[in-house]
Amino acid sequence: MSETFCVEPIGWVRCERTEVLDDGWDTIPATIELDTDRFNADAFLGLEGFSYVEIIFLFDQVEEDKIVTGARHPRGRKTWPKTGIFAQRGKNRPNRLGATICRVVSVYKTRLRLAGLDAIDGTPVIDIKPVMSGFLPRGDVAEPDWAKEIMSSYW
Amino acid sequence: MSETFCVEPIGWVRCERTEVLDDGWDTIPATIELDTDRFNADAFLGLEGFSYVEIIFLFDQVEEDKIVTGARHPRGRKTWPKTGIFAQRGKNRPNRLGATICRVVSVYKTRLRLAGLDAIDGTPVIDIKPVMSGFLPRGDVAEPDWAKEIMSSYW
């Protein structure tokens, strides 16, 4: 039996992309603005010592009835194998969470400027974690061919 | 102004560690069991083609009034600098989310066996994403000294 949990945005994405697109994310600089009702600059203290952070956010534009719980072809492309929703990173997933490692450009008060955040303007952010080398894969990363191909124009 | 969102566990962690401890996680094999009321083996189709997955889970044992929104010394250790909650990975954080990259040991129906999951028995899992090389840091990972030291006995 399942219990639900509530999460509250800690901030929001501000960027120039307002439309959901698959590719070209590196061209869009993004800022996360913390919710200043709940946080001040202390929440980011020392963050500039890290070159990368992981942003956990909500694909809040995905409608409930578009969520996939089984398998589908990534991006609907039939030449790629039918793949379980937990074996791909598509947005139409249970709980609609995104998690992306981004480069820290600058930290100013409650504003965090990033490169490589694949989220549109207004996206609710629910966590920010520093990337520590000890939490990265500790061996070779194997992946199917489609997972390399899907990234070819992503950034 | 902030809106809350609901997340529902997609499954739970099963492992022998029932107590929250800081270190030695690699000695504890873990299994994630999907919620079989909502998912079947299709949700994992193709997952065995990936060597690593990222598990997003809830530190559901952390009490509301223990959540830090500002800065503190990591693990309370005064020799490490006071650090913002979003510049560390400690569990007492807003929304209580954990995110850990684990090695896939095996996939069997709705069961995923993992190495290196730092979550205790019964932990609610809210997402599983395959680790794709294109989503890893695309440059050198810089981090403060404490972030290396804190990992010395972690795994």
CATH number of the domain that B28 lies in? 2.40.30.70
For residue A87, give the nearest of B46, B138, B147 by CB distance: B46
As for how many domains chain B has, the answer is: 1
Residues B113-124 pLDDT 10s: 999 999 999 999
Question: What is the average per-residue pLDDT within A3-23?
Answer: 90
Coil/strand/helix, residue A88: coil
User: Which of A44, A86, A106 is best to mutate for the B interface (most B CBs within 10 A)?
Assistant: A86
Q: Is residue B82 part of a domain?
A: yes
Q: pTM to 2 decimals?
A: 0.95
**Cα separation, A96 vs A99, whole angstroms:** 10
Q: Distance (Å) from the C-alpha of residue B26 to the closest C-alpha of chain A?
A: 12
Q: Is residue B155 part of a domain?
A: no
Coil/strand/helix, residue B58: strand
Residues B91-105 pLDDT 10s: 999 999 999 999 999
Residues 109-148 of B with CB under 8 A from A: 116, 124, 126-144, 147-148
Tokens for A40, please give them: 């001040």
Q: Please identify which residue in the block is written with the tokens 């966590």.
A: A127
What's the pLDDT band for A17 if we cut at 50, 70, 90?
confident
Residues B18-37 pLDDT 10s: 887 777 788 888 999 999 99
Q: Is residue B59 part of a domain?
A: yes
Question: What is the ipTM for the molecules in this complex?
Answer: 0.95
Q: Is residue B6 part of a domain?
A: no
Residues A56 and A127 sit within 8 Å (Cβ to Cβ): yes
Contacts of A148 in chain B (CB under 8 A): 132-134
Q: Does residue A1 have a pLDDT over 70?
A: no
Residues B123-154 pLDDT 10s: 999 999 999 999 999 999 999 999 999 988 88
Q: Is residue B68 part of a domain?
A: yes
Q: Which domain holds residue B22?
A: 11-149
Tokens for A6, please give them: 């509530």
Q: Does residue B10 have a pLDDT over 80?
A: yes
Q: Is residue B70 part of a domain?
A: yes
Tokens for B99, please give them: 């995110």
